[in-house]
């Protein structure tokens, strides 16, 4: 298809005047202004989310299947197949992917210290079992082939930016033309709509995370001659997250009207000098606070001011201010597949300017603000067609290829190959992976042009670096290392787990008389579900669970299991027939929000068992269904689920403990008892509690729309293997459906 042609008639272009904008709004500006006044009756913006039910027949996810999901999260359905084991909806609304790897930990760790892992199990709704790891777990998960493992990929090479990239240009396919057309556009057409601001996480009035934000009070009429102001902020990392350290505001014509250093309210952990240029020495004498620059900015901006920034949402959040009229140059210069051009790249290609030079200490906020403003002015002056003719995508790809010292590859061929790795997928979209690990860790990824490896001295340093670096990368792998259980401790832990879960699964009922109908009792208990064994002790007068060290927290564990985020919206039913599923689906109005019916089968005969699990979108829907199904019409027995599928399968694999007489005291294995009494900081119980909270807080600080995986890889040695466990969720999706996170 040929590109759209402009008409032969030419009209004189009106000169933009900065003052006396007309009171009446026109075109897109009028529509946008009206949109701000509407209530939240409009449909909610799409969010990336995972299906409530990940799988039904298989509880174990292979490393290759994990790689499937990660590649799909990077590229989406147009380039790679969908994951075979789960569903990821609205992938294009994902903002980041973060994978935390807890080396040395396994599924045994998680359920032995289930209460201590409270922060993580409450935060992540989806859990799955992992097979015991290979010798290179990380390489398996990201899909690296043997020849691509550590040390085999080329190192980064700095090359000058090419002045021209020779590639065929089809303007009609350029994303800038697709969004704006080929004709020149006015200022109001470049403004972000409220829906776009919501999608890209700009602070908005009435949103829960913006309760203490100030309005700029700019509510005047917007027209194509409204004044533009370039804004850039620098931040540091404090105990409360990122806080403002410098603000620069530049008016049209390049005049800097505001350039202030700001002293953060909280303790500074990292000045981020390599980006901000701010040091302790520079900030020490500063007395200006955030409230001072907020007041100054409100006074400077006229009612119809338009703020222009590059990733402006981050600047406004640092300022804790809300402004309705914005142009974001990282979105104005549209790139394919939701990616964004860097400011340094646009400055060089569009304006011919070199900014953010490596020989300088950090960025110059005033220079960046002036450059951002010039980029917006260039777009308005020359129009989308002129920019599309520059072929920015080809220039950016050519630069990246030269930087790696490699020959260009056919991206389509690379992605269609079944053994494509996550690194190659990231490379195909011009993105880079961050890998944080300890220097002493054995497993590592190759350091290459699209994998930035940072090695730290301790887990604590890995965590501190993660807080700083994760927001800067679209895909991050953060690896912590813990001491694995010794063979002796592993064996004793397994014994304790068998005893504890046997005790939790045991029902004590009575007392019964010697003349009771045993057959009727058996029928009664079996009506609630499969019974492994039954023991009648007729001499006992008092009926209760034996009180031992291992049974003290059984009731607490049962309550916690019921409240586990994965069990929210799940119910267990007993007494179902072979036609139950068909009957259920015939009554869709009775069971709103039903997402999955799980009908377990006998492993030997293949026949459907007489119990099942139903998963619903919400706890309320599950409760309503439970009331109906246990009522007089359906006459089933049921309750809210306690054991998710992966746990059910794992427990089934544990050999049953031998029958014990009531009242027999269970003495805990001496080796672990002694270790628990010591309770050193590196003891697995303490480590589970501390690091669950730390990682939970870090997850809480991630931006909405972040896909996060917590991987406990398991262990493998000559003494035996322990299977792993995965936890998964998308930030914001979980906050709306699950319990609160650690604070």
pLDDT classification of 645: cutoffs 50, 70, 90: low
Joined together, the tokens standing for residue 101 give: 């790897």
How far apart are the two ends of the chain, measured CA to CA in Å? 55
12, pLDDT greater than 80: no
Q: How many CB atoms lie within 10 A of CB 715?
A: 22
What tokens does 460 get?
């604590």
Return phi, psi of residue 486, to 5°: -70, 160
Rounded distance between C-alpha atoms, residue 425 and residue 74, angstroms: 7
* Reported confidence tier of residue 659, pLDDT bands at 50, 70, 90: very low
Residue (of 308, 341, 48, 340) closest to 192 by Cα position:
308
For the segment(s) 91-142+420-500+683-731, the CATH number from 3.40.50.720, 3.40.50.2000, 3.40.720.10, 1.10.3720.10 is 3.40.720.10
Q: Between 3 and 203, where is the model more confident?
A: 203
- Cis peptide before 617, with omega less than 30 degrees from 0? no
Q: Identify the weakest region by mean pLDDT among 242-251, 305-314, 443-452, 492-501.
A: 443-452
Residue-wise pLDDT for 539-563, tens only, equals 656 666 666 655 666 777 777 777 7
Query: Residue 610 has what pLDDT?
Result: 85
Structure tokens at 328: 């974001």
Q: Name the DSSP letter for residue 102.
A: E
Residue 410 has pLDDT above 70, yes or no: no
CB 562 within 8 A of CB 739: no
Residue ranges of domains in the chain: 91-142+420-500+683-731, 173-397, 561-641
The token pair at 232 is 């850039």
Whole-angstrom Cα distance, residue 499 to residue 668?
10
Residue reference for tokens 């509880």: 59
CA distance 576 to 638: 10
For the chain, give the percent of residues with pLDDT over 70.
75
pLDDT at 21: 36
pLDDT of residue 666: 37
Burial class (CB in 10 A: 0-12, 13-18, 19+), 677: exposed
Average pLDDT rounded to a whole number, residues 640-665: 57
Residue 592 contacts by C-beta under 8 Å, 6 or more apart in sequence?
Answer: 621, 624
Q: What is the 3-state secondary structure (H, E, C) of 672-683?
A: HHHHHHHCCCCC
Instruction: Give the mean pLDDT of 57-69.
Output: 81
Question: Looking at residue 282, what is its pLDDT?
Answer: 92
Q: Which residues of 256-278 are buried (b: 16+ CB within 10 A; e: fewer)?
A: eebebbbbbeeebeebbeeebbb
Q: Which two tokens stand for residue 274?
A: 């390599």
CATH of 561-641, one of 3.30.70.330, 3.40.50.150, 2.40.160.10, 3.40.50.300: 3.30.70.330
- Residue 331, burial from CB neighbour count under 10 angstroms (0-12, 13-18, 19+): buried
**Which of 303-312, 427-436, 601-610, 675-684 comes out lowest in average pLDDT?**
675-684
Residue 405 has pLDDT above 90, yes or no: no
Task: Determine the pLDDT at residue 397.
Answer: 73
Q: What is the mean pLDDT of residues 67-96?
A: 83
Per residue in 97-127, pLDDT (tens digit) is 999 999 988 888 888 888 888 888 888 888 8
Q: Are 287 and 264 in contact (CB under 8 A)?
A: no
Residue 27 above 60 pLDDT? no
Report the pLDDT averaged over residues 366-375: 94
- What's the predicted TM-score (pTM) here? 0.57
Distance (Å, whole) CA 546 – CA 659: 13
Superfamily of domain 173-397: Ribonuclease H-like superfamily/Ribonuclease H (3.30.420.10)
What is the structure's pLDDT at 315? 94
d(C-alpha 569, C-alpha 709), whole Å: 21
Give the burial string for 156-184 (b: 16+ CB within 10 Å, else e): eeeeebeeebeeeeebeebbbbeebebeb
Q: What is the pLDDT of residue 287?
A: 95
Indicate whether 201 pLDDT > 80.
yes
Q: Who's near 12: CB < 8 A, 6+ residues apart?
A: none
Return the closest-CA partner of residue 232 out of 306, 331, 292, 311: 311
């Amino acid at each position: 298809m040929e590109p759209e042609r402009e008409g032969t008639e030419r009209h004189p272009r009106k000169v933009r005047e900065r003052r006396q904008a007309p009171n009446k709004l026109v075109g897109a500006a009028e529509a946008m202004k009206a949109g701000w006044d509407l209530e939240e009756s409009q449909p909610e913006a799409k969010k990336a989310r995972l299906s409530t039910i990940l799988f039904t027949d298989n509880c174990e996810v292979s490393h290759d299947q994990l790689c499937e999901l990660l590649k799909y999260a990077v590229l989406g359905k147009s380039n790679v197949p969908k994951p075979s084991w789960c569903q990821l909806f609205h992938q294009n609304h994902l903002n980041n992917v973060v994978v935390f790897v807890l080396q040395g930990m396994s599924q045994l760790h998680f359920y032995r210290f289930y209460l201590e892992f409270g922060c993580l199990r409450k935060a992540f709704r989806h859990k799955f079992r992992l097979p015991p790891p290979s010798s290179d777990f990380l390489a398996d998960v990201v899909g690296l082939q043997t020849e691509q493992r550590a040390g085999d990929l080329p190192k980064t090479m700095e090359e000058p930016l090419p002045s021209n990239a020779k590639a065929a240009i089809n303007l009609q396919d350029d994303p800038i033309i697709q969004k704006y057309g080929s004709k020149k556009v006015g200022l109001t057409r470049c403004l972000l709509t409220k829906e776009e601001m919501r999608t890209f996480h700009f602070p908005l009035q009435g949103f829960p995370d913006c309760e203490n934000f100030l309005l700029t009070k700019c509510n005047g009429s917007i027209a194509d001659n409204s004044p533009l102001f370039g804004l850039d902020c620098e931040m540091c990392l404090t105990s409360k997250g990122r806080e403002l350290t410098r603000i620069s505001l530049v008016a049209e014509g390049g005049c800097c009207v505001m350039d202030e250093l700001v002293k953060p309210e909280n303790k500074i952990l990292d000045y981020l000098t390599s980006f901000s240029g701010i040091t302790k020495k520079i900030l020490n004498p500063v007395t200006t606070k955030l409230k001072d620059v907020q007041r100054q900015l409100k006074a400077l901006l006229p009612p119809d001011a338009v703020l222009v920034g590059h990733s402006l949402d981050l600047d406004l959040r640092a300022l804790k201010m809300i402004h309705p009229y914005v142009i974001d140059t990282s979105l104005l210069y549209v790139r394919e597949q939701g990616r964004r051009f860097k400011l340094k790249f646009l400055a060089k290609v569009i304006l011919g300017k070199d900014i953010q030079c490596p020989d300088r200490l950090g960025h110059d906020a005033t220079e960046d603000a002036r450059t951002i403003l010039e980029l917006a002015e260039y777009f308005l002056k020359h129009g989308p067609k002129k920019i599309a003719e520059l072929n920015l995508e080809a220039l950016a790809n050519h630069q990246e290829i030269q930087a790696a010292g490699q020959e260009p590859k056919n991206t389509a061929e690379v992605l269609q190959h079944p053994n494509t790795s996550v690194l190659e997928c990231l490379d195909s979209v011009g993105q880079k992976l961050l890998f944080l690990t300890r220097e002493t860790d054995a497993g590592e990824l190759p350091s290459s042009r699209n994998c930035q490896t940072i090695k730290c001295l301790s887990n604590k340093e890995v965590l501190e670096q993660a807080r700083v670096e994760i927001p800067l990368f679209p895909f991050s792998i953060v690896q912590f290392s813990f001491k694995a259980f010794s063979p002796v401790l592993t064996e004793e832990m397994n014994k304790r787990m068998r005893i504890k879960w046997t005790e939790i699964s045991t029902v004590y009922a009575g007392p019964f008389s010697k003349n009771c109908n045993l057959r009727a009792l058996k029928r009664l208990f079996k009506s609630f579900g499969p019974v492994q064994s039954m023991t009648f002790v007729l001499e006992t007068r008092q009926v209760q669970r034996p009180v031992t060290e291992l049974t003290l927290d059984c009731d607490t564990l049962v309550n916690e299991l019921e409240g586990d985020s994965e069990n929210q919206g799940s119910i267990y039913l007993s007494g179902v027939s072979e036609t139950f599923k068909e009957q259920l689906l015939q009554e869709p109005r009775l069971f709103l929000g039903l997402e999955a019916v799980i009908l377990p089968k006998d492993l030997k005969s293949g026949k459907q068992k007489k119990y099942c699990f139903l998963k619903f979108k919400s706890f309320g829907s599950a409760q309503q269904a439970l009331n109906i199904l246990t009522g007089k019409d359906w006459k089933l027995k049921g309750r809210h689920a306690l054991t998710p599928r992966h746990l059910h399968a794992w427990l089934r694999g544990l050999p049953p403990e031998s029958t014990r007489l009531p009242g027999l005291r269970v003495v805990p294995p001496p080796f672990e008892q002694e270790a628990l009494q010591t309770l050193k900081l590196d003891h697995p119980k303490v480590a589970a509690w501390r690091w669950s909270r730390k990682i939970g807080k870090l997850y809480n600080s991630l931006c909405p729309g972040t896909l996060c995986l917590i991987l406990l890889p398991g262990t493998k040695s000559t003494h035996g293997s322990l299977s792993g466990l995965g936890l998964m969720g998308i930030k914001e999706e979980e906050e709306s459906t699950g319990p609160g996170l650690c604070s």
